[in-house]
Structure 1
Amino acid sequence: MCIALPVAVQAETTRGPVTNLPLPRFVSLKASEANVRRGPSLTHRVDWVFKRRGMPLEVTAEYGHWRRVRDRDGAGGWVHYALISGNRTVLVEDDLTQARARPEDTAPVVAAFELGVVAKLGSCQLDWCEIAKDGHKGWAEKHKLWGVTADEIRE
């Protein structure tokens, strides 16, 4: 006799086999240069080099000391884990993105961030995130930032 058992519903986020951290997840580039390899070892060919310290990256896989990452444009490959950081940053995707004193459309504008600026990520609410760069700090609309998920809440 065969009995069918219920199948467990898989969580929306999978966990990395090495770190047990969520996949995918956002990190930042710790180094000023990072070789991006075709596979997870030094024997794999370097396809290109990331050259922007602090750039947000999305980790999509793990293998030993290697993390498969992608940037805003979808370019990526494998980088050594020592070259990335858990410190979160975002990429401003809209030119002159207004940062406000509070997470409200009517709050005073305290700064404007240019397209392509990499800013430090602070707290996030449903539609707003606090960002900072070079002494300028404020709340920006989340949909104008890359490096944070739409449903992510941060305190």
Structure 2
Amino acid sequence: MASGRRDIRRENQVMRVFLLFLALFFLGHSVFAGKDLPLPRFVSLRSGEVNLRVGPGSEYPIEWILKYEKMPVEIIREFGVWRKIRDFEGIEGWVHQSMLSGARTVMVLEDLVILRKKPENEASGLAKVPAGVVGKLLECKDEWCRLQAEGYKGWLPRTKIWGVYPAEFRK
């Protein structure tokens, strides 16, 4: 009988430690997700369908539905768990923070831009990228940014993409 009580106590201790760990994980995640980060900043859409509301709350009407997963957006304001964002066309609205990802992406603005092997105008081309393509931002050097898009990794001029600030990632 004493052995059974010890097993129950041990299970209770293990459960308490697990619950404490779980609580600290979620508390830490909510505290650091978006806290004290600079405004404005670029993030990306987490989902292929994101409701853009006229105010910071689910009681506000939906004005737009963004249907482009991983599209870069700019956070321009914060209110609790709500983020006011702007897309590449200047459309603004409020979304819940859970609909956004910290993954950095960029959108190609001009049609058939040449993705180059090196950050130079004379470098050989890898592919012609159409306007609207979203790529993963890898790095930027001076006037060029390296991205992964359409199955290629290459360089595009900053002026041809949206989702990175002019002075960001300068080397």
**Contact 1:126–1:152 under 8 Å retained in 2:** no
Alpha carbons of structure 1 residues 143 and 120: separation in structure 2 relative to 1, 3 Å: same
Q: Point out 4+ residue stretches in structure 1 off by more than 2 angstroms.
A: none
Q: Is the 8 A contact 1:111 1:137 kept in 2?
A: no
- Aligned pair 1:57/2:76, yes or no? no
| C-alpha displacement of 1:126 | 1.5
Q: Is the 8 A contact 1:36 1:50 kept in 2?
A: yes
Aligned equivalents of 1:126 and 1:151: distance in 2? 8
Q: Distance in 2 between matches of 1:65 and 1:154?
A: 31
Describe how 1:66-85 pairs up with structure 2 within 5 A. 66-85=82-101
Contact preservation (8 Å) 2:142, 2:170: no
Q: What percentage of residue pairs aligned between the two structures are identical?
A: 44
The structure with the largest strand share of the pair is 1
Partner of 1:35: 51
Larger helix percent? 2
Q: Which amino acid aligns with 1:31?
A: S
Q: Which has the larger radius of gyration?
A: 2
- Paired amino acid for 2:89: D
Gaps of 5+ in 2: 1-33
Matches within 5 A, 1:1-155: 19-153=35-169
CA deviation map 1:89-130 (0-9, x unaligned): 111011111111111112111122101111111110110000
TM-score (norm 2): 0.77
Alpha carbons 2:109, 2:160 under 8 Å: kept: yes
Aligned length: 138
| Superposed CA RMSD | 1.3
Cα displacement (A) at 1:134: 3.2
Q: Name stretches of at least 5 consecutive residues in structure 1 with no aligned partner.
A: 1-17
Deviations 1:30-85 (A, max 9, x none): 01111111111111111111111011100000111100001011112100000000
Specify the code of the residue in structure 1 equivalent to 2:47: A
Q: Give, in whole Å, the separation in 1 of the partners of 2:90 and 2:74.
A: 9
